[in-house]
Amino acid sequence: MEIVEHSKPCVAMISSPGVGHVTPLLELAKRLVTHHGFSVTFLAIATTEPSPAQDDLLDSPTMPPYLHVRRLPTVDVSAVVPPDALLVTRLCLIVQESVKSLKSALVDLGRPKALIIDIFCTEAHDVSRELGIPSYTFFTTSAAMLAFCLYLPTLDREVDRSIEFAELNQPIEVPGCRSILPEDLLDQAKNRKIEEFSRLLYHLDRLTLSAGIFLNSWEALEPVPFKALRENSFYLNMRVPEIFPIGPVMKENEPETLKQSDRDCLEWLNKQPERSVLLISLGSGGTLTCEQITEIAWGLELSQQRFIWVVRRPVDATRSGTYFKAGSNDDDPRTYLPEGFLDRTRGVGIVMPSWIAQGAVIGHPSTGAFLTHCGWNSAIESIAKGVPMIAWPLYAEQRTNAVLLTEELGVAVKVRASGENRVFGREEIAQTVRLVMEGEEGRVMRAKVGELMDSAAKASEPGGPSEVTLASACKGWKS
């Protein structure tokens, strides 16, 4: 890799694979370039597994000047990842292999002023320390989740290893924060005997190696966790790095990058009444069983509400079936949706296979609610656009996020599961959809999310706390 001369101070970034991690880091990179006078090189991890959505992000023709994307040497996934590896193990092994080329990339860039990484790239701390480059972590979920993650290694030491956290008969008390019910823990913390837990713990233990931690949140959204992280004796004693709340950081869809299917969808939205459409989208990696897709279809039909449904081929074995290949669109929904569903709902709803320009749809005046997997990027997007949610968590930390959205912020409601296999039934789905779109509870949620939307706008406006916080970090790099 040849040395590139920059007329501006340079910052480098590296993210683990996955649209949910790449997107916020790339949006932060754009902000550093356009608002703070930096040249940013985004060091992308390349694998033999195609992810059309991720490639579209990294190869966007609207990338601003001074934002450069460079792919690190391609990792042959089949050579480094066992076929039965779970999500986090798979991520960690891919990153571990890619970081081997990080030192030469940073040297070729002339040793940037700072390196910004995500939670699964902490091996990069060792490289940056060797080169004398300060490294920062962009923690891509909530302040509440950061507080729990910093506490988890201590919790692991204090609770007998013969007992799983999920078996505890009492809530887990996170220092200075809201307690977490065992059933709401992130997936990787529910079984301490598996490799996923060990790998997660490894990276969480290394969070304190960061020169600072950026968070896609803002003070007014999560005042209690931010106060705990800065003032609680537990976090003070463990020397938590400086916390930089810089949210909301989210993708803005540029009109020139929209696909024809997205334009058609937005054109349909233009013809619908204000706040009358429900968006159903379960993130870049989320997948459902065949039975659950059938129940959603019947539930939408029974609700008699307008909808846009981003649907994918069912996967019975996992809830994160498209995490590494987001954006693939190689199937026909008619082959797995109930017979006649598309015909019966023609004009009332739109089915979008696999992928959508989500930000543009959430921000449209006709969108009235969002059925979401509760990934943090989607939650932030919905709050910043003032759209109430139906919480449908699938994997990772999404159950914890769902509790925050429903019980603490009051901007979402959960669907009740029916049956022993926790399938959400059509009647429950229809009832919840009507409640949010037409009921009093929906109006209350809409008012609450409207207040948070205003706080998001104030946080990110020029002179707002999030912009001032980011500017303070930038000032240190420039000096």
CA dihedral angle for residue 119, residue 121, residue 123, residue 126, rounded to 10 degrees: -80
Amino acid at 21: H
Give the other-Cβ count within 10 Å of 194's Cβ: 14
CA distances from 151 to 147, 168, 204, 349 (A): 6, 16, 9, 44
C-alpha dihedral sign at 117, 118, 124, 125: positive
Active site residue 118: yes
Q: Report yes or no: 213 and 135 within 8 Å, Cβ to Cβ.
A: no
DSSP lists the bridge partners of residue 137 as 117, 213
The Cα–Cα gap between 321 and 313 comes to: 10
| Residue 4 · residue 31 · CB < 8 Å | no
**Catalytically annotated residue among 36, 118, 184, 364:** 118
Reduced to 3 states (helix: H, G, I; strand: E, B; else coil), residue 91 is helix
Per the annotation, the verdict on 21 as an active-site residue is yes
Instruction: Please name which of 226, 229, 223 lies closest in space to residue 207, comparing C-alpha atoms.
Output: 229
Q: How far apart are CA 21 and CA 138, in angstroms?
A: 9
Specify the 3-state DSSP secondary structure of 372. strand
Q: Is the peptide bond before 365 cis (omega within 30 degrees of 0)?
A: no
| Catalytic sites, residue numbers | 21, 118
